[in-house]
């Protein structure tokens, strides 16, 4: 019992780090199962992804890509003539 009381700080830090690692791995597995790339720079669309995921582009990804294009100024403004 004295070992636990003497090393309580270290034990707590290890438990917090282990919990963060478990949550991170669960997130990456979930992302991969949903059909997205997890952890690569092109995670928004797998067409140009080098992580070899084969998920098709979904409507949500396409909508998000359009929103990003508008935000960054790459989309053409069709309201102006």
**Residue 1 predicted with pLDDT over 60:** yes
Q: Looking at residue 16, what is its pLDDT?
A: 98
In a domain, 77, yes or no: no
In a domain, 81, yes or no: no
11 or 50, greater pLDDT: 11
> What distances in angstroms separate CA 58 from CA 11, 25, 61, one per listed residue?
44, 24, 5
pLDDT above 90 covers what percent of the chain? Answer: 32
- Residue 31's pLDDT band, with cuts at 50, 70 and 90, is confident
Q: What total number of domains does the chain contain?
A: 1
In a domain, 80, yes or no: no
Range of the domain at 60: 2-72
Distance in angstroms (rounded) separating the CA atoms of residues 78 and 75: 9
Q: Looking at residue 35, what is its pLDDT?
A: 76
Tokens representing residue 11 in the block: 């034990």
Give the 3-state secondary structure of residue 65: helix
């Amino acid at each position: 019992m004295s070992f636990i009381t003497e090393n309580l700080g270290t034990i707590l830090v290890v438990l917090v780090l282990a919990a963060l690692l478990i949550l991170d791995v669960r997130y990456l597995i979930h992302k991969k199962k949903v059909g997205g790339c997890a952890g690569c720079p092109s995670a928004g669309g797998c067409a140009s992804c080098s992580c070899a995921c084969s998920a098709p582009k979904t409507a949500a990804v396409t909508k998000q890509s359009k929103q990003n294009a508008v935000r960054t100024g790459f989309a053409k403004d069709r309201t102006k003539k």
